[in-house]
Structure 1
């Protein structure tokens, strides 16, 4: 008389693949031979009713060890890679009277694993590119800071020059006033003051030329200062953009690292399917 467990298995195994939504082939054995086989086309196990159970078969090992046993069967054996899982069937007294086996296709697992590996590799390359961008952003920020420092130093020098030009203008103004007073005094001295009058006139011309030249220099310095201020403003804007860019790449890099960790976990998990 057929064991009740075996009868139940014969009823459920034909629809097992549909229930678990997997490509599986199943079989039932007694202690010596296969007594029922349910083959899925995608797991074409060459095992039929009446075949003896080889000693190296997971079904035989499960019965001998009286416990569940699993092994990956390479494609060299049946043309595809699949995972074989065998479980001993026991009677009401706990005696092993047979085994139930399941062959699960690893094709889907292999595709997932390959996709995960490709994703992992792509993320690694992307991460490297982002790190290069981040390094470039840092270099750009350093260059911009150098330009800002040089521009600020130039502004300070211009301010110092402003002070010097102002002093020159003051001296020129005083010299012009002294030359004017000297010319008046020379005029009062008559013939005796003619020589001094010539000197006073030349001194006045020199002071006037100095004043005009200092005004031109001052005007040029003012325009230069305006240009430098404009450059500083533009560089500050560029620096803000570079800092935002660096922050964005850091955030992106952190996200890529997280995705990389997840993809690595996915690769590891698919190996355990």
Structure 2
């Protein structure tokens, strides 16, 4: 055994202890596997076998190229995914490879983390799409609420105009009532000749009373409508504020989802 390989062979157990999750180690010269140490999960009995039987391994590739080689493999060989890395061992001149040392360690934790991260990324993408859709809906709702607010304001202005018209009708009724009263007085003074005119005066006063009573009823109805319109306007303003606030919150939530998705992608792509 080459002195350099003998040194590695003597300390192979100590080297194995450097791996946190444990690793199976292999030491070989240019022809034969000199030693193989199993780990808790990885067991292989290849000591004494020729190295050319493992041409697809990192050990053979490192020995042939003179360069470190690492690979990540699936569960085909051991029933679970694993990492393997091999480093050539050189003679004192640093140019001639006299052997190779390799380590194989399980990749179950990282593989599981990748799977979960990939799943999380997919879920976050769906949630992001939903928040975008809800945000757009909130914007549309906000615009519609603003339209309601404009209608409410217009209704309030129209009611003000009706109030003004009613005041005018009320004034006419008062004037008509006064005119009817004056006509009745003049008819009474005219005696027998003013009887016909007296009948007309009474009808004018009745019409004035009816107009006054009706305008009062309309005014009360308008007050009720005005109150309802005011409440509607306040409700619309409250909804508008809430939809604007929700749109802002959803935008922040969407940013958070994007950050989570980015983190999940980074985890899924960890090598």
Q: TM-score, normalised by structure 1?
A: 0.90
Say yes or no: does 1:50 pair with 2:51.
Answer: no
Say yes or no: does 1:232 pair with 2:233.
Answer: yes
- Structure 2 CA distance, aligned partners of 1:229 and 1:217? 18
Say yes or no: does 1:67 pair with 2:67.
Answer: yes
Structure 2 residues without counterparts, runs of 5 or longer: none
Q: Give the 5 Å matches for 1:8-157.
A: 8-44=7-43, 46-54=44-52, 55-94=55-94, 95-157=96-158
SS of 2:62 mapped into structure 1: helix
Query: Kindly tell me: are residues 150 and 18 of structure 1, through their superposed partners in 2, closer, same or farther at Cα, counting changes over 3 Å?
Result: farther
Deviations 1:205-247 (A, max 9, x none): 1112111111111121112101211222223223222222222
Count of aligned pairs: 268
- 1:258 CA drift (Å): 0.9
SS of 1:19 mapped into structure 2: coil
Structure 1 residues without counterparts, runs of 5 or longer: none
Q: Which moved more, 1:217-226 or 1:138-147?
A: 138-147
Deviations 1:92-115 (A, max 9, x none): 112111111111222222111111
Contact 1:116–1:264, Cα closer than 8 Å, also in 2: yes
Q: TM-score, normalised by structure 2?
A: 0.90
- Structure 2 CA distance, aligned partners of 1:73 and 1:213? 93
- 1:185 CA drift (Å): 2.0
Say yes or no: does 1:257 pair with 2:258.
Answer: yes
- Structure 1 CA distance, aligned partners of 2:267 and 2:79? 26
Contact 2:58–2:71, Cα closer than 8 Å, also in 1: yes
Contact 2:118–2:268, Cα closer than 8 Å, also in 1: yes
SS of 1:76 mapped into structure 2: coil
SS of 1:110 mapped into structure 2: helix
- Structure 2 CA distance, aligned partners of 1:47 and 1:73? 19
Query: Kindly tell me: are residues 73 and 254 of structure 1, through their superposed partners in 2, closer, same or farther at Cα, counting changes over 3 Å?
Result: closer
- 1:117 CA drift (Å): 0.9
Contact 1:81–1:105, Cα closer than 8 Å, also in 2: yes
SS of 2:77 mapped into structure 1: helix
